[in-house]
Structure formats: structure tokens, C-alpha cells
Amino acid sequence: MMSWLKAHKASELVLLVLRVYLGFGWFTSGLGKVTGGFDASGFLQNAVQNPVLGPDGNAVYPWYTFLVENVFLPMSPVINVMVPWGEVLVGLGLLLGGFTAYAAFFGLMMNFAFLFAGTVSVNPLYIIIGMIILVSGHKAGSFGLDRFLHRENKGGHRHFRLPGHRREVTE
């Protein structure tokens, strides 16, 4: 599958559909939290009180429960800003195809955080789509802003360039 993603032009259209679908999901979720008020403290307390349990009844991710209880809960006012705006920014990055790999990466980080806290929801689907976008490299943003932000040099490597930015060579 990876060779097909990197070799065929049709893969750009498939990646566009996946990217827009995922971006729309992130953007609308984040926008709802930004405009409707968001408080993560209840979610975080629930993650501590009801951790993900294995078949033996023991916590599957005790390290994550510790992290939530000792780091995230005390920082809940910061989390209340980071999660909604993070979702909005990940959504915008994916919708516009700008900094696509970064948007997919940070979306994956949020998906795994939610999954470790016990929320299944759309997270497994978003993880699969996010991984496809992330490993496809620059192709995922080829129908987007990344086409203009990344330029190819003579060796075939792609480098980030701001539009209109020229590199001066001095001898």
C-alpha cells in the first residue's frame, strides 16, 4: 500500500478525501468546544476513577492514570485551552493541506491520549486515517497549501520554504 501511495497520482485524490474527512472531524469537534465552553476536568477525573482495565481487572495503562492524576488534572485550566484549540488547528491544517504531517502527528497524539483515557469513540478510525496521512509524506498535502510550502530541490528532497522566500548564496 505504501508504494502505491507514493507512486500513483490517484493516491493524491484518495489522500485528499481522507485528509478532508479527518480535518472536518477535528475542526468541528474543536469548534464546538471553543464556542460551547469546554471543561476537561470531569473527563480527566473519570479517567482516573475508571481506568482502562484488562481481563484480569488490573489497569492496562497505570502510567497514564498516574500522568492524568498528577500532571493533567492539576493543569486542567491549561488543558481546557489546549484541547479545543489543538483540535481546531489540527482540523485547519488537514482541511487546508498546510503542515499536513504536523497536523496528522498532533492529531494522533490527541487520539492516543483519549484512547488511553478510555474513550474509544472515533479514535481508532482517526488513528488509522492519521497514520495513512502521516506515512504518505508530502503527498497528503499535494492538493493543499503544502504544494506551495514545500519545494523540491535538485536531489529530489523536499524542503520547507515560505512563498516568495529566496535563499541567497554568498561566495
DSSP string for residues in 64-111:
HHHHIIIIITTTHHHHHHHHHHHHHHHHHHHHHTSSHHHHHHHHHHHH
Q: What is the DSSP letter of 54?
A: -
Per-residue pLDDT, averaged over 148-170, amounts to 59
Residue 161: predicted pLDDT:
58
Domain-located, residue 87: yes
Is the CA virtual torsion 2, 3, 4, 5 positive or negative? positive
Domain-located, residue 167: no
Domain-located, residue 123: yes
Domain-located, residue 112: yes
Per-residue pLDDT, averaged over 114-130, amounts to 95
With 70 as the cut, is the pLDDT of residue 112 above it?
yes
Domain-located, residue 165: no
Would you place residue 46 in the very low, low, confident or very high pLDDT band (cuts 50, 70, 90)? Answer: very high
Q: Which of 67-71, 98-102, 144-148, 165-169 has the highest mean pLDDT?
A: 67-71
Domain-located, residue 21: yes
Element (H, E) at 160: strand 158-160
Record the pTM. Answer: 0.84
Domain-located, residue 171: no
With 60 as the cut, is the pLDDT of residue 169 above it?
no
Residue numbers of the domain that contains 133: 2-160
Residue 113: predicted pLDDT:
96
Domain-located, residue 166: no
With 70 as the cut, is the pLDDT of residue 40 above it?
yes
Please state the domain count of the chain: 1
Are 87 and 99 in contact by the 8 Å Cβ rule? The answer is no
